[in-house]
C-alpha cells in the first residue's frame, strides 16, 4: 500500500493532469445541476463539460450565451472554477519546479539556483502564500476600480456593480475571458476605466509568478534579472508592441472593427484586443470581423501565449524567444547560445524545441480534425478556433456554439492538453533526465 501511494510521487508531473481532471469532473457535475441553468432543464453533458473545462483551464471559450444561459449559481461556479484553475496552475507549476530541483543532483541544483534564482523546498509554504496574496491583491484592486466605475458612471446598483467587478477581475487576472455581457465587452470599447484595469490584470497574471517574484525582489535593478525574467518581461513587451502596431495597421480603416472609432478609442481598442489575444480572451471588437492579416497575427500571438508558471496559455514567451536566440546563434555560426552573458544549457534548448514542435503538431492535427468533423467552416476559422483552445485564449470567430458535439469535445481535449501540456511535459523531461556514460560515434546528416 505504501509503495502504491509513493509511486505517483516518483513522477510529480502526474499530479497536474490528475488534479485538473478531478476539478473538471466535479465542475461538470455541478454545472449539470438544474439550478445552474436558466429554465427547467439541466444543461446537457457536453455543454457542462465544455464550460467546466473552459473555466478550470482558464480559457473562456463558451458554447452558450453565458449570462443568458447560466443562473447566478452557474456564474458563481464559473468564477470559483476559474479561480481554482488559476491558483492551481501557478501553485502546481511552482511546486513542480521545486520538486524537479529536488530530484536533480547537487551540481544541477546549484546551477539552476544561479540561473533562475529558484527557491528551496523549505519555501513551499511561503511560495503558496505569496501566490495567493498576489492573486487576491490584484483581483481586489481590479474589482474595486471596475465596481466604482460601473456604479458611478453606469448607474449600476452597488451590489450588482461589485459582483460584475469581481467576476471580471477574476477572469482578467486568471486570463479566463468569460464575460457577463452577451457581446463580450463591446459596449466598453472606449472606456479607459474599464479596459485599462483588465489589461493590467491580464498582463500581470500572464507574466507568471517566478517573474513577478523576481521583479518585486530586484525592482529597479534589471541588470540582476535572471534569463527567465528577462525573456519573459522583454518578450512580453515586444509582443505587446508588435501586436498593437499590427492591430492598428490592419484594422485602422476596417468599418467592422476600429474604423468607426475616434483616435483615443482606436488606440485603446487596439491595445486591449492585442493584450487579450495573447491569452486574456475578452473582446471589445468582434474577432470574427478581423481582416485576414489581423487574424494571422492573432493566431501567432495565441500560439505563443504568456509567461511560464502563469495563468496564460500557449507554448510560452520564454520558449518562443529562446528558440529565436537559438536560430540567431546558429545563423551566426556560434557554438553557444548566450542570453544576457549567460550560456543556455543544451537541455533547455531541446526542451523548448520539443514543446514548440509538439504545439505545432497538436494545432495542425486539431485543425484537420475540426475541419473533418464539420461541414461549413473554412480552414482559417478552424485554425483560429483550435489555436484559441490550445492556447487557452478564449477568443472565437463566433462558431463555437454551432459546432457539433464531437467538435466541441475535440476543443475540450485541446483546452486540457494546452493548459497542462507544457508544464507536464517540461517537468517530465527534467525528471526523466538520464546521463549516458558513453557516446556513440558522431555523424552529421545534411540539414536544410
Taking only the tens place, the pLDDT of each residue in 75-117 is: 999 999 999 888 876 566 665 655 555 554 444 444 444 434 4
Residues 82/86/87/89 CA torsion (nearest 10 deg): 130
8 Å CB contact between 298 and 281: no
Residue with cell 543556455: 344
Distances, alpha carbon 334 to alpha carbons 238, 326, 330, in Å: 24, 9, 6
The pLDDT value recorded for residue 4 is 43
The pLDDT value recorded for residue 13 is 60
8 Å CB contact between 401 and 63: yes
The pLDDT value recorded for residue 439 is 77
The pLDDT value recorded for residue 110 is 44
8 Å CB contact between 186 and 286: yes
Distances, alpha carbon 88 to alpha carbons 14, 80, 117, 206, 388, in Å: 14, 12, 22, 14, 21
Q: Which residues contact 165 (CB under 8 A, 6 or more apart)?
A: 142, 143, 144, 145, 146, 147, 148, 150
Residue with cell 509513493: 6
**C-alpha–C-alpha distance, residues 376 and 57, integer Å:** 28
Average pLDDT, the chain: 85
Which portions of the chain are predicted below pLDDT 50?
1-10, 104-118
The pLDDT value recorded for residue 2 is 46
The pLDDT value recorded for residue 100 is 55
Specify the 3-state DSSP secondary structure of 307.
coil
Among 182, 175, 202, 211, residue whose Cα is nearest residue 271: 202
8 Å CB contact between 226 and 322: no
The angle subtended at Cα 273 by Cα 373 and Cα 372, nearest 5°, is 5
**DSSP 8-state secondary structure symbol assigned to residue 278:** I
Q: Which residues contact 40 (CB under 8 A, 6 or more apart)?
A: 34
| pLDDT tens string 35-71 | 999 988 899 999 999 999 999 999 999 999 999 999 9
The answer to whether the predicted template modeling score (pTM) of the entire model surpasses 0.85 is: yes
The pLDDT value recorded for residue 270 is 96
**C-alpha–C-alpha distance, residues 91 and 219, integer Å:** 23
The pLDDT value recorded for residue 448 is 72
Amino acid at each position: 500500500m505504501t509503495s502504491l501511494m509513493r509511486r505517483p510521487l516518483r513522477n510529480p508531473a502526474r499530479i497536474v493532469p490528475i488534479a485538473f481532471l478531478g476539478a473538471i469532473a466535479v465542475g461538470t457535475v455541478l454545472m449539470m445541476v438544474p439550478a445552474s441553468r436558466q429554465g427547467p432543464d439541466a444543461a446537457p453533458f457536453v455543454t457542462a463539460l465544455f464550460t467546466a473545462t473552459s473555466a478550470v483551464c482558464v480559457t473562456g471559450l463558451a458554447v452558450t450565451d453565458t449570462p443568458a444561459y447560466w443562473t447566478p449559481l452557474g456564474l458563481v461556479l464559473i468564477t470559483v472554477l476559474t479561480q481554482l484553475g488559476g491558483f492551481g496552475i501557478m501553485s502546481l507549476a511552482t511546486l513542480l519546479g521545486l520538486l524537479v530541483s529536488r530530484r536533480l543532483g547537487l551540481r544541477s541544483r546549484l546551477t539552476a539556483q544561479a540561473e533562475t534564482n529558484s527557491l528551496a523546498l523549505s519555501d513551499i509554504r511561503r511560495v503558496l502564500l505569496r501566490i495567493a496574496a498576489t492573486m487576491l491583491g490584484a483581483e481586489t484592486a481590479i474589482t474595486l476600480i471596475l465596481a466604482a466605475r460601473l456604479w458611478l458612471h453606469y448607474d449600476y446598483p452597488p451590489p450588482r456593480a461589485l459582483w460584475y467587478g469581481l467576476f471580471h477581475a477574476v477572469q482578467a487576472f486568471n486570463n479566463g475571458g468569460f464575460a457577463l455581457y452577451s457581446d463580450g465587452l463591446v459596449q466598453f470599447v472606449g472606456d479607459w476605466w474599464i479596459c485599462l484595469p483588465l489589461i493590467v490584470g491580464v498582463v500581470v497574471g500572464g507574466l507568471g509568478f517566478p517573474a513577478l517574484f523576481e521583479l518585486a525582489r530586484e525592482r529597479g535593478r534589471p541588470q540582476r534579472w535572471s534569463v527567465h525574467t528577462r525573456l519573459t518581461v522583454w518578450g512580453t513587451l515586444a509582443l505587446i508592441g508588435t501586436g498593437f502596431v499590427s492591430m492598428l495597421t490592419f484594422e485602422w480603416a476596417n468599418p467592422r472593427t476600429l474604423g468607426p472609432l475616434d483616435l483615443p478609442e482606436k488606440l485603446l481598442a487596439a491595445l486591449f484586443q492585442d493584450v487579450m489575444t495573447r491569452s486574456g480572451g475578452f473582446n471589445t471588437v468582434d474577432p470574427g470581423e478581423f481582416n485576414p492579416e489581423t487574424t494571422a497575427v492573432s493566431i501567432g500571438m495565441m500560439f505563443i501565449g504568456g509567461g511560464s508558471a502563469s495563468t496564460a496559455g500557449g507554448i510560452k514567451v520564454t520558449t518562443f524567444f529562446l528558440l529565436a536566440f537559438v536560430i540567431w546563434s546558429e545563423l551566426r555560426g556560434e557554438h553557444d547560445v548566450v542570453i544576457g552573458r549567460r550560456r543556455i544549457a543544451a537541455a533547455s534548448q531541446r526542451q523548448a524545441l520539443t514543446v514548440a514542435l509538439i504545439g505545432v503538431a497538436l494545432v495542425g492535427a486539431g485543425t484537420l480534425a475540426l475541419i473533418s468533423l464539420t461541414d461549413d467552416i473554412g480552414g482559417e476559422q478552424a485554425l483560429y478556433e483550435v489555436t484559441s483552445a490550445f492556447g487557452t485564449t478564449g477568443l472565437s470567430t463566433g462558431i463555437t456554439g454551432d459546432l457539433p458535439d464531437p467538435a466541441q469535445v475535440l476543443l475540450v481535449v485541446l483546452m486540457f492538453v494546452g493548459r497542462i501540456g507544457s508544464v507536464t511535459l517540461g517537468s517530465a523531461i527534467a525528471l526523466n533526465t538520464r546521463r549516458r556514460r558513453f557516446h556513440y560515434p558522431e555523424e552529421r546528416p545534411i540539414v536544410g
